[in-house]
């Protein structure tokens, strides 16, 4: 279920989604993906894993379900541009599977993907600028804590949209959704943190945001 937003706003979100996706596609250096088959396998494999995660939802309130996002891992691995492309493909598949109405595709992409990807990349950038370049800080802060904070950011953002659109009352959103938020922040952090730790240990070349010369100096 999607929030009860006016048609003009859904249309505006669709146009904004197309503009953002077009810019991401245009500005990305595609030779890095086209010339490396392992990178292609990683990209399409990530899309498949996200589809499985996003379908496995649990919750009481329709439209506000808990599930693993995996957006932090995808963003740290691919960078924000390719992450936006990958999540667009995921949302298209979810729409084809009937997870939501086609008219709400722009909302789902902007709110559920673009906004948290921007948040998680901003969190990583802040960690990179402000904290020592240490593999453990990258894993625990840019990976584990970042993923949990990103999950909280998205849940609060979605709750605000549902409340402001009068789809649900704030009392129902709090009692049936937001108060359970800490229970999902931790597993989100664990799943992403473990994945990032594995990449740092065995395949740092698959992390576009990890510079070995900087972190292992």
In a domain, 180, yes or no: yes
In a domain, 171, yes or no: yes
The pTM (predicted TM-score) of the whole model is: 0.93
The count of domains in the chain is 1
Distance CA 36, CA 40 (A): 7
In a domain, 2, yes or no: no
Tally: H helices and E strands in the chain: 12, 2
DSSP 167: S
Q: What is the pLDDT of residue 1?
A: 64
Instruction: With a cut of 90, say whether residue 56 has pLDDT above it.
Output: no
Distance CA 151, CA 185 (A): 6
Domain CATH number, residue 151:
1.10.1760.20
In a domain, 167, yes or no: yes
Q: Which domain holds residue 114?
A: 7-215
* Segment 84-128, tens digit of pLDDT: 999 999 999 999 998 889 999 999 999 999 999 999 999 999 999
* Segment 10-54, tens digit of pLDDT: 999 999 999 999 999 999 988 878 888 888 999 999 999 999 999
- Of the chain, the percentage scoring pLDDT greater than 70 comes to 98
Collapsing DSSP to helix, strand or coil, 98 comes out as coil
Mean pLDDT rounded to a whole number for the chain: 92
């Amino acid at each position: 279920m999607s929030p009860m937003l006016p048609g003009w706003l859904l249309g505006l979100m669709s146009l904004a989604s197309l503009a953002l996706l077009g810019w991401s596609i245009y500005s990305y250096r595609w030779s890095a993906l086209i010339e490396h088959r392992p990178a292609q396998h990683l990209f399409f494999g990530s899309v498949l894993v996200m589809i499985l995660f996003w379908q496995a939802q649990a919750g009481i309130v329709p439209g506000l379900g808990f599930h693993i996002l995996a957006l932090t891992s995808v963003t740290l691995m691919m960078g924000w541009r390719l992450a936006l492309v990958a999540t667009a493909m995921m949302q298209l598949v979810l729409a084809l599977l009937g997870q939501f109405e086609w008219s709400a595709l722009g909302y789902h992409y902007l709110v559920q993907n673009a906004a948290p990807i921007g948040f998680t990349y901003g969190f990583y950038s802040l960690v990179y600028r402000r904290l020592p370049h240490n593999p453990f800080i990258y894993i625990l802060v840019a990976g584990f804590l970042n993923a949990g904070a990103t999950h909280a950011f998205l849940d609060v953002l979605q709750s605000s949209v549902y409340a402001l659109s009068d789809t649900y009352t704030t009392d129902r959103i709090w009692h049936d959704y937001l108060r359970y938020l800490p229970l999902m922040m931790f597993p989100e952090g664990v799943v992403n943190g473990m994945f990032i730790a594995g990449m740092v240990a065995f395949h740092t070349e698959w992390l576009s945001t990890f510079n070995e010369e900087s972190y292992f100096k």
